[in-house]
Structure 1
């Protein structure tokens, strides 16, 4: 199974579960609907952010050269579009047939506006997470490389007894 398909189906399940739980919460406490909506969106965003960060860390560790990175942008874009369309369709079916309280719109609106919103809720945080993950790995690798360069420079600039070598002596220019 393709990696984007696994991500898309998982994020579909997360989004549908968040909408179902949001529907139950809003029915039970309608005055707190803004809080519940914020929590539901935050959960979807946080899961995409963490998963994208994990992908970025794993990719940067597997590919030392940034030119060899996998294309996580397209992977997460495909996953986001799949999650958006499937979550919109499933939520519309659930809202029409089973759970009237989840707040679905017409099928057209769910598949266009709802799917677009869900795709962005998945894609943007995952993209940011991947960038942060890659940055953190590169930062750690650059720290290690800088420490190695410094120790090599120190080894060449001093003799074994601690006296400076010829590398530290000033050079004269001959005209």
Structure 2
């Protein structure tokens, strides 16, 4: 995300050199594309049920803010107008905060929307696995019995029975 934001900022700075007053529509479209990329990417993460997706996107927004600020100053210095280290302080404060919000807010909405979609496992039913354990021995007619699907192990451990305090009657 930092790389996408840095490329977008550098491209807008380069375009501003040639047309300083007529880029409002272009800026709106670029911001909408960046917001859409963050929302779509986070929605896919939520749809795939990635672990700790919210924490991941929070950290990603902070890294994207600082990383895009540094990459923007480097890109502007190389491609636009030889900006120096004096541009680094504004890019790492206001620019980084704006970029972090442009990642965090749509990512939160994407996580919310993607979490409400059906899981990919539910869309594709599990087919029975062929193995030696899943086929019953042949019956009287010599044909193999119907195949049984193997049971998946439970993700939670078994509960142990505790003996009751009263003895059993026999």
Name the TM-score class by shorter chain: 0.5 to 0.7
- Cα distance between partner residues in 1 of 2:38 and 2:72: 19
> Which of 92, 97, 112 is matched with 1:131 structurally?
112
The aligned counterpart of 1:148 is none
The aligned counterpart of 1:88 is 69
Q: How does 1:135-146 map to 2 (within 5 A)?
A: 135-137=116-118
How many residue pairs are counted as aligned between the two chains?
Answer: 119
Instruction: Give the structure with the higher percent helix.
Output: 1
1:112 and 2:102 correspond: no
1:47 and 2:37 correspond: yes
Gaps of 5+ in 1: 1-10, 60-68, 142-175
Which range is displaced more, 26-35 or 45-54?
26-35
Gaps of 5+ in 2: 123-170
- Cα distance between partner residues in 1 of 2:86 and 2:68: 13
C-alpha spacing 1:99/1:110, structure 2 compared with 1 (3 Å): same
The aligned counterpart of 2:127 is none
The aligned counterpart of 1:38 is 28
> Which of 57, 65, 70 is matched with 1:76 structurally?
57
C-alpha spacing 1:127/1:112, structure 2 compared with 1 (3 Å): same
The aligned counterpart of 2:103 is 122
TM-score for both structures, normalised by structure 1: 0.60
RMSD: 2.4
TM-score for both structures, normalised by structure 2: 0.62
Which is greater in Rg?
A: 2
What are the superposed Cα offsets for residues 55-89 of structure 1, whole Å, 9 maximum, x if unpaired? 11110xxxxxxxxx722111001111111101101
